[in-house]
Structure formats: C-alpha cells, structure tokens
Structure 1
C-alpha cells in the first residue's frame, strides 16, 4: 500500500533536515513525503529545497500547524497516512513494524507505538533538568506515532483548525468515539525531542485552555440529542 507522510514546519531550520532524513531513511521508505512550510522566517525553506525531488515542499502563509497538516493530508495520494513533527525523529523500522501490523489484521485502522522522549543535545546543561521528562518511554498516542488508513481518516474527518495546540487530542477523542480500531506495536517508533521551542512547554496556558475546549467538545458529542 502506498504511504504518504506529512510534515508541518515553522521556523524549524535547526531540526527539519534530521526529521526528514529519519522519514526517508526507513527500512521500508514511504512513497511520498509532503512538507508544508508554515510561513517560516528562518532558513527552513532553503533546507527543504536541498532535498530536491526527494520530497514535495510547499510554503504557505503562517496559519498554524493544524491548517498545514490538513493541507498536506488533502494533497496526499497514499492509502496510508503518517505524520512527523519537524523536530522529532522516526526510528528506522517505524513503517516496517506498523505496516506489518496492518497487514496481519485488515480490520485495524490505525497503528501507534511507543515514544522515547529526549532532551535535545544543544540545550545548555543549566537548563536540561527543566526539560527532562518524568517518563522517558511511554505509549505514544501522538500524531507522529500514528499510521492510519486514509479511509478511516476520511470517515472521522480532518483536524480541528480552531485548536492549533491540541487539535490531535480533540481528533483522537472523536476517533475513539467513532469506533476507530487501534493497534500498538511494542517498540519505539518515535523519538520526541524536548527543547525550548516545544509549544507545549513555552505556551502552556494556551495548550491547557485548548485541552479544556477539546474535552468539552468530546463530552458534548457524547450527550444524546434532545
């Protein structure tokens, strides 16, 4: 089955090349990698251009990650869709393991795996304790850990663009309510980089508010219609 991978990038010049290489370097490489540059003002676009026709790179005005991811997903031609964040890394066998899981059971619609969190090497020693995760390795029900069948994504719908910080939390809640059949591979599929630019660590108030909004939407969706 054809696999498309979507990456949204905003001012990601420090990490984007490594992220893309981790996707292209899979033991079972994807068929297309779509990178949406969300109005970066640094050298992100120049780095994307270096990959030539190994990726599909587009630039849009800065609209937020949810809009960029939805745009890339709409362009994708694969029957399977994966996502990578611009500062994270896929482990080399991510697609191989997840494809095997989908092939073993054709009723499974989306496959996740474990995530390993790590403090980015360039973070100064004096700040590293601040970013050290409470749990290093955990089940990763995160966008970048997921490989999903396109038909399931189309059935559930794309990401809520009004929740730029927590759109995947809201989407996953909606997906589970709709009966999305999930599976997990018992291995690390993503290495999540922790650094000062992580939105969830630098803008916690906005993320907390949007998480509350997402939960309210989920509760409202569960209520019977009058």
Structure 2
C-alpha cells in the first residue's frame, strides 16, 4: 500500500497561550505529518507570529467566521489524502498519527478513524458548571475532530462541516458519517488531551443544547429516509 500523505489542520483564534504546545505535539509525532496548516480566525494577539515562527507551518487567514468555516478553509487548502485536526488549546499523544495510520494499513477500506480522549483542567481555572464532578473520567470516546484521521475524499462524499452550527458542527459531521454508514475504525486508546477552561466554545450550554436537538432531529429524518 502506498503511503498516504497527511495534512494536519490547526484552527485558532487568539491562541497565543496554547498554540505552541499544540504545534509541537504535531511536530514531535513518531509518524510525521506531511504538512501543518494553521488557520487563524482573525486573531488580535500574537497568534500569527507564533504560527509563522515554525518553518514547517503554512499560516492561513480564515475567510469568513466560525469554527466550521475555519476547518473548511483548512480542508480546501490541504494537499494530503488524509486529514487530521487539532484545536489550538489541545494536544496529541506523540504516537497519535502512528497508531491511526496503522489502522488504515490494517483495514484499507475504512474512511476514517477516531479514538479516546482525556480531559484536563487548565491550571488556575475553576471546574465549569456543566461538569458534575471534581474528577474527570479516565477517558471518554472522542467523536471529535481532535481524534479524527479521515480521507479527504470523504468530505466530497458527505460534505464539510456545516457553518449553520456555531458549536455543533462536529457532532453534525459525525452524525452524517454514521447515518451514511461510512466505514470507520474506533481505536480504544487515548490519543488526544483536551483542555477544559473558561473560554471553551462548548461553555455556551444553551446554544450547544439547541444545536444538538436540531442535529438529532435531522439525523432521525435521514434514518427514516
């Protein structure tokens, strides 16, 4: 099997505090990515200079607004056959790409793979109200772009991230992939460390819940068809 090129898309907005750790977790992978694209959503801090300080990073100014548009900008500019995603405030385990490439090698027919993630609380931050206990679970299944490795061709098949969803564009994409019965591999291993802090987009609980309900309704309609 010919080795597939990997593009990694990092989306960021005012991420100067965390961006370097995210990029370095990509650079230090045991299986190297072929390109790293940082898509900047109109940052007003030092984000741009940090991204540009890495010679192997392509820095792209986002066209439009929102998380979905940022990811879609990365997809449109990516040259790899496989695409991975990382939010600027999270970081990967160093074997993330190696483990997932192995899954594609062992099961050439899969279109994407995903894995477990582990939450951690940003130092100095109080636990947000949406979390019911003081201790995060050891891991959880990560149906989120940060654990995803996906064939670029799949976006042409089922569509990109839907910009009509402010927060739920990730949930919507995974729901469409599931409803279309896209072949996937679940890897029961923690490959993503996801930071919890006061500025997480998902902290907007009301918008998140409203979008999830809309996504569930759309999913049920697709299944009935």
TM (normalized to structure 2)? 0.92
Bigger helix share: 1
| Pair 1:42-2:49 in alignment | no
CA–CA separation in structure 2 for the residues paired with 1:39 and 1:169? 24
Q: Spell out, residue by residue over 1:95-135, the C-alpha distance to the aligned partner (whole angstroms, 9 max, x if none).
A: 00000010001111111111011111242xxx248564542
List structure 1 segments (4+ residues) > 6 angstroms apart after TM superposition.
none
Q: 1:61 to 1:111 in 2, by over 3 A?
A: closer
Aligned pairs (5 A) from 1:38-187: 38-51=41-54, 53-60=55-62, 63-123=65-125, 127-128=126-127, 132=134, 134-187=136-189
**Of residues 18, 23, 27 in structure 2, which corresponds to 1:15?**
18
Tell me the CA shift for residue 153 of structure 1.
2.6
CA–CA separation in structure 1 for the residues paired with 2:193 and 2:80? 24
Gaps of 5+ in 1: none
Q: How many residues align?
A: 219
Give the aligned CA root-mean-square deviation in angstroms.
1.6
8 Å contact from structure 1 (residues 119, 195) kept in 2: yes
Q: Spell out, residue by residue over 1:54-79, the C-alpha distance to the aligned partner (whole angstroms, 9 max, x if none).
A: 10001236601100100110110101
Gaps of 5+ in 2: none
TM (normalized to structure 1)? 0.91
Tell me the CA shift for residue 50 of structure 1.
1.4
